[in-house]
Amino acid sequence: MSTALITGASGGIGAVYARHLAARGHDLVLVARSTEKLEALASELRAAHAVAVEIITADLTVSADLSRVEQRLRVGTPVDLLVNNAGAALLGSFSDADPDKMEQVLSLNVTAPTRLASAAVGAMVARGTGAIINIGSVVSLMPAYFPGIYAATKAYILTLSQGLAAEFGPKGVYVQAVLPAATRTDIWAKAGADIDQIPNVMEVDDLVTAALVGFDRREPVTIPPLADAGLWDALENARAIFPSGLGGAPAERYRAPASA
């Protein structure tokens, strides 16, 4: 793979992915809202690794900006790796959440990665090769402990990734869902949380290094802090077996009338 497009690339996880992929020899297309930060990172990577770096200043919650990034995925130097990293958290309960803020988080965490994957995958299938990395979260597996819609948006990313892997894996497109636990990025400060009050926080470089080990192994789902891979395998095996016994009639336990 020669060119990678990374969203949310001006800092945090996205910027570290950019550094790691540039060190591997990938040319880059960096997408974020801050032109100044993108230009500084692009200059750093060109000097350090002699790779080509494009920048696209875009707010992925704005339809026109999102369309420009979609167009870049369809036109120009082929993009062989899409890193859907841009995202936002919304802390607090569902009942107290501002509907406009919820809509913005849904636009960034759900709509944008879906549309970008859609824009990228057609050309990847046509070439018979390509990869998509979707950054999710372990909170997708624990919604009861993380109220509001953030966990739901990350559950969507996990399910989307698994669906894309099933559909396009046989056609040469590898899809990886990365599920970080708490990671030291500015997503927490932007959401109004103090990262220093959160236990067991992983450093960004450790996260990305581990995620790329999973990428090289072609893992469908990578959970960097998970020590026992058998736990995830058991969960996935149970999910795979569960639908096999579902028939076309109500189960016996639902046939008895409800008690008074």
From the list 187, 192, 218, the residue with the least C-alpha distance to 87 is 187
Active site residue 150: yes
- The residue type of 136 is G
CA 152 to CA 133: how far, in whole Å? 19
From the list 206, 204, 135, the residue with the least C-alpha distance to 175 is 135
**Alpha-helical runs (H) found in 24-149:** 35-49, 63-74, 99-106, 112-127
CA 113 to CA 132: how far, in whole Å? 10
- Residue tagged active-site, from 17, 150, 156, 174: 150
Please tell me what DSSP assigns to residue 83.
Answer: E
CA 56, chain centre distance (Å): 19
Residues 219, 221, 226, 231, CA torsion sign: negative
Residues acting as catalytic residues = 150
